[in-house]
Every structure is written in structure tokens, then in C-alpha cells.
């Protein structure tokens, strides 16, 4: 059962996404890795092209229109290059833990469904703090990104999840694979810039849950009123890239972790 992993990137070096770590980490998982590259100008193309022959890079024009639908189309473009029996779509800040690799292959070998959910653990500020309770900010808890390679697979909305034709998404499974998401463990200025652009684009739909700090131009201190009550400490296990280079996955000098430990969280 061949597995294709696919992702889309543009200027991710400048935006401090862990793209090298993400691609290297998943080389043992996938039979091929498809990268849809959007004509970067910061060295992203050169970086992703130099990592491993298993990584196949294609280039498509990036669309800067306000509608999030273009990201869905960009994901569809990447998926069309996949040749595996099953496909897994990951952003370059998303990691399937290595202890889930064998279970992922077992799930796709035995699945009766055409698409499977993946459960998110969303880290914030560093690799030892995660979003534990979606009470203020609505963080993604699941995505439907593991699917059979069918021509009627397409991405909907802002491109977060795939859909098979017009079929509804299957129910969330108790045995859903876990995914570690480090989108909020990046350079604070770049993270805030991206969230601000996303927030302006999605305000009509998600306004009540947009963190207000993204419109604040003072230095980011990570102790956000929008987030702090929803955070908890993560005690492991840690994925290989974190164990090998913990500083790469730490942007606040572990201040949040020590603060939450003092609070008993």
C-alpha cells in the first residue's frame, strides 16, 4: 500500500516554518513526498529541493486574492501529483509522531472508509505547552487529510480538510491518529503577521475567536489573555525533531512552561 505525502509552501523560510525538519521527519513514512512550491523568493525552493530525492517539487502560481478558496485549489494542485494508493496532506508545521507511523499504515491497509480524521495537538510558544481547552480561541482539533487517492478528492473552505465528492466527513474516531502542530511555535513577528492576514480574511466567519494580540504591534510576550486560560503543560512523548533540536521548537525560552507549572497546569 503506497503512501504519498503532499504539502504546499511559499516563503516558509522567511516565515520561520520548520519545513526542513518536517520533510526529513516524514521520509520514512511516505513512499513519495510532493511539494507544491509557489514561486518563493526566500530560498524555500532551493531548500526543499536539496533534502532528498524522494521529495518531488512542482511549482504553481501563488494566488494572493482575499478568498481562502485559493488555498483549497493550491492543495488540490499538489494532490494531483500524488501516485500512491493513499495520500496524506500536511502543512509544513505539522508532524505525525514517529510512534504513529506503523499505526497509520495499518489504518490505511484495513480502512473501509475513503478518508480518515487526524487529531491535532496544538503547541504554543514552545514544545512543552499546548492548547488544552478550546474555550476562547477556536483551534482546529481534527482534520480530514488522510484519504484514498481518488480523482474526486477535493479541498473545501479554506483548504483545511479534504472531501470525497459531496460525501459528508466521516465521524471522528476514538482511535484517530495524532498530529503535533507547531504553527504557533515560530518567530512571533512572522506568526502574528500571518495570523493578522488570516484574521482579516476570515473576520466575518470567525471574528469572535480571532486573538486580539495579532493587531498589537508591541513586542510579543506570549502571555496572551486570549490564550493563557486554555494552555497546559505537555509532558511528552516528544517527536524526534524536538528531541534532536529542542531550541528550534522553543520561541519563548520556556517561560510559558515554567509559568504554567507554577500554576499546577
Q: What is the pLDDT of residue 66?
A: 59
Question: Would the pTM count as exceeding 0.85?
Answer: yes
Confidence of residue 211 (pLDDT cuts 50, 70, 90): low
Residue 155 placed within a domain: yes
Rounded to whole angstroms, the Cα distance separating 95 from 23 reads: 9
Residue 63 placed within a domain: yes
Q: What is the pLDDT of residues 231-263, one digit of tens each?
A: 999 999 999 999 999 999 999 999 999 999 998
Mean pLDDT of the chain: 88
Rounded to whole angstroms, the Cα distance separating 241 from 147 reads: 26
The tally of domains found in the chain comes to: 1
β-pairing verdict for 153-156 and 161-164: antiparallel
Q: What is the pLDDT of residues 29-77, one digit of tens each?
A: 999 999 999 999 999 999 999 999 999 999 988 776 656 676 778 888 8
| CATH code for the domain in which residue 29 is found | 3.90.550
Q: What is the pLDDT of residues 149-206, one digit of tens each?
A: 999 998 887 778 888 887 777 778 888 999 999 999 999 888 887 777 766 665 544 5
> Which 8-state DSSP code applies to residue 216?
-
Residue 145 placed within a domain: yes
Q: What is the pLDDT of residues 93-109, one digit of tens each?
A: 999 999 999 999 999 99
Residue 85 placed within a domain: yes
* Share above pLDDT 70 across residues of the chain, in percent, rounded to a whole number: 88
Q: How far is CA 28 from CA 5, 32, 98, 177, 192, in A?
A: 11, 10, 9, 17, 33
Closest CA to 179 of 263, 108, 99: 99
Whether residue 208 is predicted with pLDDT greater than 60 in this model: the reply is no
Residue 136 placed within a domain: yes
Range of the domain at 51: 3-183
Residue 111 placed within a domain: yes
Residue 235 placed within a domain: no
Q: What is the pLDDT of residues 64-89, one digit of tens each?
A: 665 667 677 888 889 999 999 999 99
Torsion sign across C-alpha atoms 142, 145, 150, 156 = positive
The region, left, alpha or beta by phi > 0 then psi within -120 to 50, assigned to residue 159 is left
Residue 35 placed within a domain: yes
Amino acid at each position: 500500500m503506497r503512501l504519498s505525502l503532499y504539502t504546499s509552501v511559499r516563503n516558509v523560510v522567511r516565515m520561520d516554518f520548520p519545513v526542513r525538519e518536517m520533510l526529513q521527519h516524514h521520509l520514512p513514512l511516505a513512499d513519495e513526498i510532493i511539494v507544491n512550491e509557489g514561486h518563493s523568493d526566500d530560498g524555500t525552493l532551493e531548500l526543499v529541493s536539496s533534502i532528498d530525492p524522494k521529495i518531488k517539487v512542482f511549482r504553481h502560481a501563488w494566488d494572493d486574492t482575499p478568498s481562502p478558496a485559493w488555498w483549497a485549489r493550491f492543495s488540490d494542485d499538489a494532490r494531483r501529483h500524488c501516485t500512491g494508493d493513499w495520500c496524506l496532506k500536511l502543512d509544513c508545521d505539522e508532524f505525525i509522531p514517529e510512534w504513529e507511523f506503523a499505526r497509520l499504515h495499518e489504518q490505511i491497509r484495513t480502512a473501509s472508509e475513503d478518508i480518515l480524521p487526524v487529531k491535532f495537538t496544538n503547541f504554543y510558544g514552545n514544545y512543552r505547552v499546548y492548547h488544552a481547552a478550546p474555550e476562547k480561541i477556536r483551534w482546529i482539533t481534527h482534520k480530514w487529510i488522510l484519504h484514498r487517492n481518488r480523482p474526486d478528492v477535493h479541498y473545501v473552505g479554506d483548504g483545511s480538510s479534504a472531501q470525497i465528492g459531496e460525501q459528508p466527513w466521516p465521524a471522528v474516531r476514538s482511535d484517530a491518529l495524532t498530529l503535533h502542530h507547531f504553527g504557533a511555535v515560530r518567530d512571533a513577528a512572522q506568526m502574528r503577521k500571518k495570523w493578522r492576514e488570516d484574521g482579516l480574511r476570515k473576520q466575518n466567519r470567525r471574528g469572535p475567536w480571532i486573538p486580539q494580540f495579532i493587531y498589537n504591534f508591541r513586542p510579543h510576550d506570549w502571555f496572551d489573555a486570549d490564550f493563557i486560560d486554555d494552555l497546559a503543560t505537555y509532558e511528552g512523548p516528544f517527536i524526534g525533531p524536538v528531541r534532536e533540536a529542542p531550541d528550534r521548537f522553543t520561541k519563548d525560552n520556556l517561560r510559558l512552561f515554567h509559568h504554567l507549572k507554577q500554576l499546577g497546569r
